[in-house]
């Protein structure tokens, strides 16, 4: 079967520094795949290459078998490649209702529609409420995003991505900075993502990786170090040496 | 799905585009001034035009987050286009207005690509630069623009062949009011649309806007072009109602003044430009009759006070600073974990 997302020999150089070193990676349909690696391993650069924020120096990116290497970021989103951010990237002056609504209308192709009022069509409202319910945001729909509790902002971060109807979802440390009390709510929504969405989880938190992922890829110094099932990776002594060993205190 | 949540969401969105009582008050007052303030039509005309100009700046600054120090480029181009068109082709005001709008839209479209290149400071410089270049062109093309003497001999035919411009400015004010109101209606429609909402996402966070599939550059080009057209029409209104165009229409101080007015009136709700123009011109009128040479001192002071007290961003900065001083976490904690 065609992988949901594939990279072939992906390279990114910043001057003399090779941040992404010949990465050939496959994300299968419906996968629950984690990408781990020590700080500075190039995980975020890799995500930026996938989403089109950065242009690769060499190599190819295939989304559902189609070459998207040269495609603009917003067009990749329209084809179903959506990400969340490690540090919240939200719209501070808007409400969760508007934020989700904007993503929904953009996905439906109404984003450039300037004559009809936003939220005029019942299907948009239905979908906003659906998503807000799934991500436990119905109680804060009308509050300013900047005044939301951090845990809620984290939920909104994922809800916005989900509103784009991803076929491939890149979750960049979804639980980063979430207080212990709100963690369960967040992790349960992540675990409840529909199976037809292929998920790549970029994560530091090993508990989350081991509970969520079925396969794990390890990135070290920009290159793919190894890949395998959770059992293989968690018992691999080399992985322990380069990564797990040094992150015990995290 | 909980129908209660659905109802709340639908109501919230519907409230956004419902006309508020104050909006009726504003436009009815503007209309009532036609009969109630007959001796002030000249200044009211100027305020209405300046308000429209400031609203056009609000479209890019308040909604899309593009700061401009050269918005008078479009105002000036519109004024000169309307003036020259009246002298050389025909004095029909509506044709001149439309042409001015298209000319400025064209300039806006072309220069929007320069604006896209940078962020705040670069944008200020680019917009300022465009206005300076255009101002100098207007100064040099004496045969066309009259240069420093201004464009003389503009005569405007009656509107629709019926309503002649009078020396008391009554027709002028009604004309500017109707044009401004129609343009306002379109702008109001535009800012509550999905397009308008997407502009606000770009203003708040262009990175994320792009990550939810918004073609950021195209949206900015579109709104910059629309705002330029609006500014051009405002300029044309001034040229037509005063039947004169001078280099003043494109001068740096006009770009700066309109920015001041918008900040005084408030950005991001469309009325800020009109309110700011009213306050600015009103203050100018009152203070300059009291102290003709130093009125800008008071305007400046008011502006400083306004910015100091009225902005919630300032409040948050203060709150964060205080919290830090006390060794407590900032009001809104954020992760600072760095990763490439």
A66, A175: one domain: yes
> Who contacts A213 (Cβ-Cβ below 8 Å, separation ≥6)?
A32, A33, A34, A201, A230
Let me know if residue B104 belongs to a domain. Answer: yes
- Of B193, B212, B222, which is closest to A118 when you measure between CB atoms? B193
A190, A68: one domain: yes
Residue B332 has pLDDT above 80, yes or no: no
The torsion angles phi and psi of B43, rounded to 5 degrees, stand at: -70, -35
A75, A173: one domain: yes
A2, A18: one domain: yes
A105, A156: one domain: yes
A196, A226: one domain: yes
Q: How far is CA B101 from the centre of its chain?
A: 14
> Environment class of residue B173 by beta-carbon count within 10 Å: exposed (0-12), middle (13-18) or buried (19+)?
buried
Let me know if residue B111 belongs to a domain. Answer: yes
CB pairs under 8 A between A and B: 181
The torsion angles phi and psi of A19, rounded to 5 degrees, stand at: -85, -30
B124 near B130, Cβ under 8 Å?
no
> Who contacts A22 (Cβ-Cβ below 8 Å, separation ≥6)?
A9, A10, A11, A59, A223
Q: How many CB atoms lie within 10 A of CB A37?
A: 26
Given A124, A150, A165, which residue is the final one in a domain? Answer: A165
Q: pLDDT band at B263, cuts 50/70/90? A: confident
Closest-CA distance of chain B to residue A20, Å:
11
| Domain membership of residue B152 as a residue range | 40-251
| Domains in chain A, number | 2
Let me know if residue B3 belongs to a domain. Answer: no
Closest-CA distance of chain B to residue A129, Å:
6
* Residue B323, both tokens: 């919290």
Report the residue of chain A nearest B222, measured CA to CA.
A112
Q: How many CA atoms lie within 13 A of B153 on its CB side?
A: 9
| Domain membership of residue A134 as a residue range | 89-165
Let me know if residue B181 belongs to a domain. Answer: yes
* Residue A35, both tokens: 């990408």
Given A136, A165, A194, which residue is the final one in a domain? Answer: A165
Question: Nearest-CA neighbor of B236 among B40, B68, B26, B92?
Answer: B92
Let me know if residue B66 belongs to a domain. Answer: yes
A179, A246: one domain: yes
Given A150, A165, A180, which residue is the final one in a domain? Answer: A165
A160, A172: one domain: no
A119, A222: one domain: no
- CA dist., res. A200 & res. A28, Å (int): 10
pLDDT by residue (tens digit) across B202-253? 999 999 999 999 999 999 999 999 999 999 999 999 999 999 999 999 999 9
Q: pLDDT band at B295, cuts 50/70/90? A: confident
Closest-CA distance of chain B to residue A250, Å:
12
A145, A182: one domain: no
Looking at residue A145, the DSSP 8-state letter turns out to be: G
One pLDDT digit (tens) per residue for chain A, 250 residues: 899 999 999 999 998 899 999 999 999 999 999 999 888 888 989 999 999 999 999 999 999 999 999 999 999 999 999 999 999 999 998 999 999 999 999 999 888 888 888 877 888 899 999 999 999 999 999 999 999 999 999 999 999 999 999 999 999 999 888 888 888 888 888 888 999 999 999 988 888 888 889 999 999 989 999 999 998 988 888 888 876 555 444 4
Tell me the ipTM for this assembly.
0.91
B71 near B57, Cβ under 8 Å?
yes
Let me know if residue B225 belongs to a domain. Answer: yes
The torsion angles phi and psi of B132, rounded to 5 degrees, stand at: -65, -45
| Domains in chain B, number | 1
B3 at interface of A, judged by CB pairs closer than 8 A = no
Let me know if residue B213 belongs to a domain. Answer: yes
> Environment class of residue B162 by beta-carbon count within 10 Å: exposed (0-12), middle (13-18) or buried (19+)?
exposed
The CATH number of residue A47's host domain is 3.40.50.300
């Amino acid at each position: 079967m065609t992988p949901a997302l594939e990279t072939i020999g992906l390279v990114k150089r910043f001057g003399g520094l090779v941040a992404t070193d010949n990465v050939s990676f496959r994300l299968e349909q419906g996968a629950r795949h984690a990408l781990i690696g020590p700080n500075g391993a190039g995980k975020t650069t890799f995500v930026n290459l996938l989403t089109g924020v950065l242009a690769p120096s060499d190599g190819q990116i295939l989304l559902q078998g189609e070459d998207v290497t040269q495609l603009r970021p917003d067009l990749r989103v329209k084809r179903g490649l959506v990400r969340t951010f490690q540090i919240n990237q939200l719209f501070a002056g808007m409400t969760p209702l508007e934020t989700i609504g904007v993503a929904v209308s953009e996905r439906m192709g109404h984003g450039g529609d300037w004559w009809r009022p936003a939220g005029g069509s019942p299907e948009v409202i239905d979908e906003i409420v659906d998503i807000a319910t799934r991500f436990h945001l119905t109680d804060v729909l009308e509050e300013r995003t900047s005044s939301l509790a951090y845990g809620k902002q984290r939920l909104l971060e994922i809800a916005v991505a989900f509103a784009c109807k991803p076929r491939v979802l890149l979750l960049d440390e979804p639980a980063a900075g979430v207080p212990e009390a709100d963690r369960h709510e967040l992790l349960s929504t992540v675990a409840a993502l529909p199976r037809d969405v292929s998920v790549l989880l970029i994560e530091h938190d090993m508990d989350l990786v081991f509970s969520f992922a079925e396969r794990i890829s390890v990135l070290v110094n920009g290159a793919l170090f190894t890949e395998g099932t959770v059992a293989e990776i968690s018992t691999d002594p080399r992985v322990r040496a380069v990564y797990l060993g040094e992150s015990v205190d995290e | 799905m909980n129908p209660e949540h659905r109802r709340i969401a639908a109501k919230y969105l519907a409230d956004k585009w419902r006309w508020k009582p104050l909006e009726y008050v504003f436009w009815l007052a503007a209309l009532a001034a036609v009969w109630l303030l007959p001796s002030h039509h000249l200044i009211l005309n100027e305020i209405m035009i300046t308000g429209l100009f400031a609203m056009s700046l609000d479209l890019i600054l308040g909604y899309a987050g593009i700061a401009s120090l050269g918005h008078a480029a479009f105002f000036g181009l519109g004024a000169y286009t309307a003036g020259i068109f009246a002298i050389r082709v025909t004095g029909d005001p509506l044709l001149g207005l439309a042409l001015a709008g298209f000319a400025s839209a064209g300039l806006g479209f072309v220069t929007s690509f320069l604006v896209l290149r940078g962020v705040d400071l670069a944008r200020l410089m680019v917009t300022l630069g465009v206005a300076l270049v255009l101002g100098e062109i207007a100064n040099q093309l004496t045969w066309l623009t009259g240069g420093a003497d201004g464009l003389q001999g503009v005569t405007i035919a009656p509107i629709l062949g019926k309503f002649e411009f009078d020396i008391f400015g009554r027709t002028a004010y009604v004309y500017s009011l109707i044009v401004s109101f129609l343009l306002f209606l379109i702008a109001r429609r535009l800012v509550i649309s999905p397009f308008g909402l997407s502009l606000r996402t770009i203003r708040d966070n262009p990175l994320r806007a792009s990550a939810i599939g918004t073609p950021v550059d195209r949206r900015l080009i579109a709104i910059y072009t629309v705002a330029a057209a609006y500014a051009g029409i405002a300029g044309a209104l001034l040229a037509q109602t005063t039947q004169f165009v001078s280099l003043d229409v494109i001068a740096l101080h006009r770009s700066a003044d309109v920015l001041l007015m918008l900040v005084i009136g408030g950005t991001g709700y469309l009325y800020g430009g009109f309110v700011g123009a009213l306050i600015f011109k009103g203050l100018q009128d009152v203070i300059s009759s009291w102290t003709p040479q130093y009125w800008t001192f008071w305007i400046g002071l008011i502006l400083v006070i306004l910015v100091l007290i009225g902005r919630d961003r300032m409040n948050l900065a203060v709150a964060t600073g205080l919290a830090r001083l006390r060794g407590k976490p900032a009001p809104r904690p954020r992760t600072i974990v760095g990763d490439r």
